[in-house]
Chains A and B, each alone.
Chain A
Amino acid sequence: MDGLGGYVLRRLLFLPITLLIVSFATFYVTRWGPGDPISVYSGQYRDQEAFDRVRHKYGLDKPIVEQYGIWLKDVVLHGDFGVSFRFRDRSIPEIIGPKIWVSARLGLYAFILEFLIGIPVGVYAALKQGTWRDPFLISVFLFFQSIPVLVTVPILVLVFAEKLHWLPNGGFDGLFSKSMIIPTLAISLPGIAGIARLARVTTLETLREDFVRTARSKGLGEYTVVTRHVVRNSVVPVMTTVIGLSLVGLIEGAFFTETILGIPGIGRFTFESVNGRDYNVLLTIVLLITTLFVLANLAVDLVLAVVDPRIRINGGGK
């Protein structure tokens, strides 16, 4: 099978295999470690007989491989991801759905902000190459890219909440409130900087292309050259290649931002689930994120192949 169709098909066929391996590895790692949810919730002083009974009820006393078999069968045949040990009597989609919705809205803000600010600033820096503005902007980008989110968040809180009292110092009360400003800013800063740097480099490369010289020599104004010829040819690759990366950054950023600021999103929830050994919830989250990553990467490859036919999709060559 050659060509784009075959490639997509092969990548998609590989997804279930990836998920299978990932789910098994995650399953094994989580359950292999000492401490299970029942012992976490029953505390130090417990009735051994009752403890064993509950473990047996959830099948936690079986060998791990057998537990995995049962879990896999339920998922494949019934679409049932198991029970949450922390929140009994509620299905997993029901529990994580609202958390994802919170994080997704936060992430969407940050995502839009990244491209809206990152690309123009990067193009501007490229156009000012040779003046002081270009190296200055690069250093600023690099600086913002260097600060870990878990440093940015407390500093923003310190300045804007504790000292200036402009913004609340945490919490979450809807999408259109002041409490969204600090988390959005903190999550998107590294992304803005990364996108700006990439936009700058691609713009610089595009400026050297023959078609730009042609555009200039036929008398087009600098503005038209930049917007019509340069930006269009440099921005598209930037957009497509970094969507996947920016997704990773957003998810990791959400982890810290939500934990520090007390936002009830999926990042904070994942961390709580690790500590509570909430196996099934964790597994579902990991599989969800894995699927998201694989699909995002595939989408990026596809868009690139369509936009730029020079890229050979099979990774072939000599």
Chain B
Amino acid sequence: MTIDASASEALAAAEGYALGRSESLWGRAFRRLLRKRIAVGCLVVIAAFYTVGLAAPLIAPYGYSESNLDLSFHGPSVSHPFGTDRNGRDTLSRNIYAARTTVIVTLATVLAGSVVLPLTLGMVAGYRRGLIDAAINRVGEILASLPGLPMLVLINATLRPRVVRAIAHFEDGVHWHGLTSSGFADFFLIFSVLSLFGWVGYARLIRSQTLTLRGSEYVLAAEASGASTKRVLFTHILPNVMPLVIVSVSASLGAVAGSEIALTFLGVGIQPPHASFGALITDGSTAAVLRNHPQLLLVPAVVVASLIFAFNLLGDALNDVFTPRAQ
């Protein structure tokens, strides 16, 4: 950041102070973020992607499994801007529905695996120390030493039939159908497996930060004045580990999106006919398709690459905003 920018920021802060307005850490961080043009660009790309994903049924011109065998492997045309695949399904619509898959998986997994689990486990481990800390650390160590991808494939491959059966059983119990055909089982499996393996690194970060904060004077002061553990954790420690959480979230979004694609690519993620970028890339990368219809690979490849790129660029920008030292 240039001296100019920080000077104007200081000026703005002073003005705000003079007017009796004080600005929170978050407000300042957000303003600093908006000043970075790259970050704003990333936010726009990500927002557009999530809007398209969430509104997929409204935007997509065709359904994700709507096939027309007369139109197998047609090139780009007015009615199908990116052509059709082997089954005559519209590539554009398939990509839009794939975005929906990515949106659901990333939101659910990031919430559980990079926010809820790391925050609770990390803060408890760091603040309580002792036996709980040791237990959480050991479990984390074991999870971290497992070969991630093979384990994910293994768990998804072996547990899927069981989860499907359990969901069917549940449906029979509540007389409400549609869960199985919506592919809920696949989402549920991907979500749980990715969260289970994802929390370790972030929990460690939060634990060490909590450990540092625990020894700080203001926490000691709070404890000395009789604040309860709950109060210390929520009002004194939580706000100070939140920047770490934001950085973890932005770092994990890209990784989670990539993992879902990878699992589907290996055949253990989202099952056909549901759309996922993994499935689209698999279909597009067989030799014959690659040679004759490269757009079937290029469309999902470009979307995936730009999305993950935007996630990572934003993550970097957020990192700069919250830890200005690391520039």
Interface residues of chain A, those whose CB is within 8 Å of chain B, are 14, 18, 21-22, 26, 29-30, 32-35, 138-139, 142-143, 145-148, 150-151, 153-155, 157-158, 162, 169-170, 201, 248, 251-252, 255-256, 259-260, 270-271, 274-275, 282, 285-286, 289-290, 293-294, 297, 317-318
Task: List, sorted by A's number, 24 A–B pairs whose CB atoms are closer than 8 Å.
Answer: A14-B141, A18-B145, A22-B145, A22-B146, A29-B154, A29-B159, A34-B161, A142-B312, A142-B316, A143-B309, A146-B308, A147-B305, A148-B261, A148-B262, A154-B297, A201-B326, A252-B262, A259-B266, A270-B150, A274-B153, A274-B157, A275-B267, A286-B151, A317-B212
Interface residues of chain B, those whose CB is within 8 Å of chain A, are 141-142, 144-151, 153-155, 157-162, 211-212, 214-215, 254, 258, 261-262, 265-268, 278, 281, 284-285, 287, 290-291, 294, 297-298, 301, 304-305, 308-309, 311-313, 316, 326
List, in ascending order, chain A residues with CB within 8 A of B312's CB.
142, 145-146
* Cβ contact within 8 Å between B150 and A274: yes
Chain A residues near B265: list those with CB within 8 A: 150, 256
CB <8 Å contact, A293 and B147:
yes
| A33 pairs with B142, CB closer than 8 A | no
What is the CA–CA distance of A252 and B316 in the complex, to the nearest angstrom? 24
| Secondary structure type dominating chain B contacts | helix
Closest to A30 in B: B158
- On chain B, the residues within 8 Å of A158 by CB distance are 290, 294, 297
Query: Is A154 in contact with B284, judged by CB distance below 8 angstroms?
Result: yes
Query: A170 — which chain B residues lie within 8 A by C-beta?
Result: 287
Check A260 against B285 for contact (C-beta < 8 Å).
yes
Q: SS class of chain A's interface: helix, strand, loop or mixed?
A: helix
Residue of A nearest to B301 (CB): A151
Q: A148 to B162, alpha carbons, bound, how many Å? A: 30
Asked if A147 and B147 sit within 8 Å, CB to CB, the answer is: no
Which residues of B lie under 8 Å from residue A138 when comparing CB positions?
Answer: 316
Cross-chain contact B161 with A155 (CB below 8 angstroms): no
- Give bound CA distance, A96 to B212, whole Å: 46
- Chain B contacts for A293, CB-based, 8 A: 144-147
- From residue B140, how far is it (CB to closest CB) to chain A in Å? 12
Known: A145-B312, A146-B312, A147-B305. A286 touches B146 (CB 8 A): yes
- Distance in Å from the Cβ of A192 to the closest Cβ of chain B? 15
For A147, the chain B residues whose CB sits under 8 A away are 304-305, 308-309
Residue from B146, B147, B148, B161 with most neighbouring chain A CB atoms (10 Å): B147
Residues of A with C-beta under 8 A to B285: 150, 153-154, 157, 260
A297 touches B287 (CB 8 A): no
Report whether A154 and B150 are in contact in the complex, using a CB–CB cutoff of 8 Å: no
Instruction: Evaluate whether A29 and B158 lie within 8 angstroms (CB atoms) in the complex, with A251-B147, A293-B145 already known.
Output: yes
Contact B290 A154 (CB under 8 A): yes
Select from chain A the residue with minimum beta-carbon distance to B265: A150
Q: How far is the CA of A242 from the CA of B316 in the complex (A)?
A: 19
Hey, which chain A residues are within 8 Å of B313, CB to CB? 139, 142
A142–B154 alpha-carbon span in the complex (Å): 30
| 6 pairs of A and B residues whose beta carbons are closest in the complex | A33-B158, A154-B285, A318-B215, A289-B147, A146-B309, A146-B308
Assembly CA distance A157 to B212 (angstroms):
49
- Given A18-B142, A151-B304, 11 more A-B residue pairs with CB atoms under 8 Å apart are A33-B157, A143-B309, A146-B305, A147-B305, A148-B261, A148-B262, A150-B261, A158-B294, A255-B149, A285-B150, A286-B150
Shortest CB distance B37–A (Å): 11
Asked whether A155 lies within 8 Å of B262 as measured between CB atoms, the reply is no
Which A residues are in CB contact (< 8 Å) with B158? 29-30, 32-35
Q: How far is the CA of A33 from the CA of B261 in the complex (A)?
A: 23
